[in-house]
Amino acid sequence: MQVDLREFRAAYLAEVDEHLSAINALLLAVERTSQAGKPSPRDLRELMRLLHTIKGLSGMVGIEPVVTIAHRMETVLRRADTAGGLVGDRSLEALIEGARAIEARVRSVEKNEPVAEPAAATLAALDLEDLPAQQPSPPDVALDPEIAAKLTASEREQLTQGAAEGHHALRIDFAPAPAKAERGQTITSVRERLAAMGEIVRVLPIARPAAAGTPGGLVFVVILLTEVSEQDIAQAVSLPLEDIRELVAARRLPTAPLPEPELEPEGETIEPQRPGILRVEVARIDDTIEKLSGLIVTRSRLSRAVAKLREAGVNTRELESIMADNARQLRDLRGAILRVRMVPIAAVLDRLPLVIRGLGRTTGKQVRLVIDGAGAELDKIVAERIFPALVHLLRNAVDHGIEIAAERTRLGKPEQATITVTASSRDNRQIELRIADDGRGVDRDRVAAKAGRDVPHDDATLLELLCRPGLSTRDAVDTTSGRGVGMDIVHKIVVDGLGGVLSLETQPGKGTTFVMRVPLTIAIVDAFALRCADERFVVPVPVVEEIIELDASRLVRGPRVRGRETRVFARRGEIVPVVDLARALGLPEVAAHAGQQALVVRRGHDEPVAFVIERVLGQQETVIRPLADPLVAVVGVSGSTDLGDGRATLVLDLLGLCAKLSRDTEHAA
């Protein structure tokens, strides 16, 4: 039977992405431990397990370049594990570069592009033996030679380390038996309980002659590091105390090569059960939202039908009660689908330490990254879009904000700079990300000179200059900065793309903080339905700062823009320009009349703008479909939605219109 492996691509990408994220975090942990001169036996074994899984998955779907790189990385880790768990600097660099190479090829698979063969330099670096000059001495622990021969050097080192730190090094023997299984006492349950009370170093199945105590001819030996007493462990796992022995330092363990993995006996497993996780393609969730939109349209049609029956004198009380229940159930279903799309912000933030490490090595600056995710969640699509903005802000902080070590010492600062990334949910609609550094702050004079403008006296004006396309305070281009695209991209992602808010706080000599506030989701949002030029539109609620009733007596003439008069009015001490939304969209203008309303919006800390409309029709949750086709992309329109009557309704991008109006004003000036 011919099997099309392409159907496994989504599952492959999800699995490998998860493992790569864990690998990057572990490599950074190994680097920190190695710099302290300590081995990392547990982390090395976990890295080998993750790479072995990636190798197997890649081989299954025919991604041979990934198989090759993962195999070479396994070899490096196996050498380090055999040597006692210490990793040399060159080997660590090669492992990090190997992880990047795997990730690049996985991205090629995701984009349906050809997967490049591994670079010769990458493979050569992984072939170099880089063992530390001083290896840890073999530990002195009392173990039977049969057990000792099955432990790796890093496991022996792990035992010694644990004992030196004051932990009990215990050997627990468990012999499976039918009577025990009937009571629910299996190696799986015993292992899970022991793992909750300490650190399992190894589980070894040992063959024994069948007897009363070993009816299955098998004993599982669990080597455990713990702070719990033997008596408490015996009670927790329902084992006699004589089956639990403390390993007392007595002699050196014989050096043994890394053994092959033991085969698990049939009918038993030594792996704990994992919680059920179902990986689903985002496209399927999107399809579910589309089906939900159809239900909403049907409910709206049913509501109109019920209204007609009521007008005809039919008693519709029971039917209206059913309709109310149905509306509540649809709201709950919509919320449940939205939660499926949500991912922890940690999935984004956990990728940043490796970015900082690379920037630090490139610039030669010492930088410490502190992350506080606070358990916040956001839509997967928003998470993917916000990551490049975070990378740009970190790059700017390291390259422009952080001083070199000598300068920081002269200023009385620690040689190692600190960048703090904090994520927090402001409400059930927005998430706030703060990127703060303790560097030199933004040089206002230099920014103004590069932009050809007056020196800004407030942070909002300074941010506006920084976000100008092509602006860079660097005189020369290097690998991290100087191209004038960083802050422009951040602004486009946060403000123009996600409809969020970007702000800046900076103090000379003390540091800079960028604040991004973005919606938790762009798939399902609360929105205002409004009427303008006899057409119906939708505007997301978070964009609107205020809805006001226009009073002609408060309007005064403003400056002319491209030959047209403008109007302004005063609102709580600030001047608000008034823009006819119909004119801004190129629609036939409607004569002004009493009772007109205006939507007041604001781009970050910029001045507010009031868009004149006929009236607001109401507020409701909407499913937004973005206009991805560039042939139909229009400034001021971000997508479409269905308000329940089967007609497509355009979703307006008032922030994009604000940007266009600002550019028009500048050009006119």
Q: Could you say which DSSP state residue 313 is in?
A: T
Nearest alpha carbon to residue 514 among 419, 434, 424, 431:
434
The pLDDT assigned to 199 comes to: 83
Please name the amino acid found at residue 205.
P
For residues 656 and 633, what is the distance between their CA atoms, to the nearest angstrom?
Answer: 12
The pLDDT assigned to 421 comes to: 92
The pLDDT assigned to 475 comes to: 52
User: Model confidence over 394-446: pLDDT tens digits?
Assistant: 998 998 889 999 999 999 999 999 999 998 876 667 788 999 999 999 888 88
**Which residues pair with residue 252 across a beta bridge?**
140
For the entire predicted model, the pTM comes to 0.62
User: Model confidence over 33-62: pLDDT tens digits?
Assistant: 888 777 877 788 888 888 888 887 887 777
The answer, yes or no, to whether residue 281 has pLDDT greater than 50, is yes
For residues 306 and 316, what is the distance between their CA atoms, to the nearest angstrom?
Answer: 7
More confident residue, 69 or 565: 69
The answer, yes or no, to whether residue 290 has pLDDT greater than 90, is no
User: Model confidence over 177-233: pLDDT tens digits?
Assistant: 888 888 888 888 888 888 888 888 888 888 888 887 788 788 888 888 888 888 888
**Which residues pair with residue 473 across a beta bridge?**
none
Sheet containing 574-580, strands listed edge to edge, beginning at the edge strand earlier in sequence: 544-549, 597-601, 609-613, 574-580, 564-571, 556-561
User: Model confidence over 303-360: pLDDT tens digits?
Assistant: 878 888 988 988 988 998 998 888 888 878 877 877 787 888 887 888 888 888 888 8
In this predicted structure, which of 114-118, 152-156, 337-341, 376-380 has the lowest mean pLDDT?
A: 152-156
The pLDDT assigned to 418 comes to: 92
More confident residue, 175 or 668: 175
The pLDDT assigned to 513 comes to: 93
User: CB–CB of 188/270 below 8 Å?
Assistant: yes
In this predicted structure, which of 3-12, 235-244, 365-374, 382-391 has the lowest mean pLDDT?
A: 3-12
Mean pLDDT of 498-527: 83
The rounded percent of the chain whose pLDDT value lies above 70 is 80
The answer, yes or no, to whether residue 277 has pLDDT greater than 80, is no
The answer, yes or no, to whether residue 121 has pLDDT greater than 90, is no
For residues 184 and 193, what is the distance between their CA atoms, to the nearest angstrom?
Answer: 13
Highest mean pLDDT among 79-83, 485-489, 536-540, 565-569: 536-540
Tell me the three state secondary structure of residue 538. strand
The pLDDT assigned to 273 comes to: 44
The answer, yes or no, to whether residue 132 has pLDDT greater than 60, is no
The answer, yes or no, to whether residue 642 has pLDDT greater than 80, is no
Under the banding of pLDDT at 50, 70 and 90, the label for residue 628 is low
Please name the amino acid found at residue 534.
D
The pLDDT assigned to 438 comes to: 92
The answer, yes or no, to whether residue 141 has pLDDT greater than 70, is no
In this predicted structure, which of 577-591, 625-639, 640-654 has the lowest mean pLDDT?
A: 625-639
The answer, yes or no, to whether residue 7 has pLDDT greater than 60, is no
Nearest alpha carbon to residue 394 among 311, 486, 501:
486
The pLDDT assigned to 514 comes to: 93
What mean pLDDT is reported for the chain? 78
Tell me the three state secondary structure of residue 355. helix
Under the banding of pLDDT at 50, 70 and 90, the label for residue 251 is very low
The answer, yes or no, to whether residue 556 has pLDDT greater than 50, is yes
The pLDDT assigned to 25 comes to: 86
